[in-house]
Amino acid sequence: MPQNKHAKPQIPGSSGQHVAVLGGGSFGTAMTKVLAENGHIVHFWMRDQRQADEVRDTGCNSRYMPDIKLNGDIRPTTDLEEAVGNASTVLVAIPSKAFRAVIRENCQAFRERQIVVSLTKGIEEHGFKLMSEILVEEIPRCRIGVLGGPNLAGEIVSRDLTATTIAAKDPDVRRELQELLGCEYFRVYANVDVYGVELAGALKNIYAIIAGLASARGLGENAKAMLITRGLAEMSRFAVSLGANPMTFMGLAGVGDLIVTCTSSKSRNYRVGFAMGKGKALDDAVAEVGQVAEGIYTLKLVKEKSEAIGIYMPLVRGLYEIMYDNASISAVISSLMMSVQNSDVEFILPRTISY
C-alpha cells in the first residue's frame, strides 16, 4: 500500500512522536527537555555545529542551560530540512529578527497540514507582523498555532510547576500540543485567540523592562503593583484595538505572563530594565544580560503603531523616552504620576482622553 505522506512518524514499539524544535536558545532547550522526557524523539535544530555537537556528546547546552542535563532521545542537528522532514509537529523558537528569513529559506521542508507552533514572543518590524502571521504567509499549507504564558525556561527545565496556553483555530492542533507537552509539572491549556495570545506575549516584554527599572529605583510594592496593572490595561487596550479578545488578557498568556516577567529576576527583559535603573546605558545593560531581550525591539514597533492608530499608551511612551531620548527616569515617572486619572479597568468605563 502507498505510504500516507501526512501520517505522523511513529517510533517503533513506542507511542512517542517525532517532534522538531527549531532554535537552540533557552526556551527551545526547555521544550526539548519536556518533549524528550515525555518519551518523544526530538530533532533539535540549531545553527552552531559546536553547540549541536556538545548537546549530542554531553547532553548539555552550556551556553543557555549550563547546569541542566538533557535526557531522552534528542537528536541535535544543523540540518533544518532533516529536522522538519522527520517530524509530525514543529516548534519554532527562533528570535523574531531572524524568524521569517529562516522559515522562508527552508519553506519547502514543511509538509502539507504539518503542525507548526511558534514559541517566539516578538513582532516583525516591517508590517507589524506576529510570528504566526509570518508562518501563514510563508508556509500556508501548514496548520499553525502559538504557545504563550508564564513560562520561564529556567523553571521549566528544573521541573517546577508551570502552565502554558496553546492557541490555534484547529482543535486538533490544540489537542496534539496538550498531548505532546502535558505532564505532571507542565500543564497545557487551550485558547482559540491566536492573535491575542501571541500579541500578549510580545507586549508583556515592554512592561517587564519597566518593572525592572522601577525595582532598581527602589519603588515600593504599591508602585510596582500599579505599574503591572496599568500595564495590563494598556496592553489589552492596544491589542483589542487590533482584533484580540479582551478575555485573553485575563488568562495565562495575558496577566499570567505579565506577572512573572514583571516580578522575576529570571526574566531577561526585567534584568535589562533593572540594569538601566542602576545607571547602565542600554547597550551595556543588554551586554550584561547576554541574551536577546525581545522587549527592546518590540518597544519601538509598539510606540510607532500606537501613535499611528491613536491608542493611548503612556508607559510605552515613557519607556521609549528613557531608552532612546535620554530622558530622566525621575522626570518620566513624575510625568506619568501627573497624567489624567482615568478609568481603572478597560472596557467598563469610556476613556475621557485620547492619545
C-alpha cell at 276: 538601566
Closest CA to 272 of 284, 281, 285, 262: 285
Left, alpha or beta for 247 (phi > 0: left; psi -120 to 50: alpha)? alpha
At residue 124, φ and ψ (nearest 5 deg) are -80, 140
Compute CA distances 11 → 76, 173, 217, 340, whole Å: 17, 20, 54, 61
Catalytic residue among 121, 129, 204, 303: 204
Expressed in angstroms, the distance from the first to the final Cα of the chain is 64
Per-residue b/e over 291-326, b at no fewer than 16 CB within 10 Å?
A: ebbbbbbbbebbbebbeeeebbbbbbbbbbbbbeee
For residue 230, the SS3 value is helix
**Catalytic (active site) residue 5:** no
Distance between alpha carbon 160 and the CA centroid of its chain, in Å?
A: 19
Phi, psi of 330 (to 5 degrees): -60, -40
Q: Report the DSSP pairing between strands 18-22 and 89-92.
A: parallel
Q: Residue 12 burial (CB < 10 Å; 0-12/13-18/19+)?
A: exposed
Catalytic residue numbers, as ranges: 204
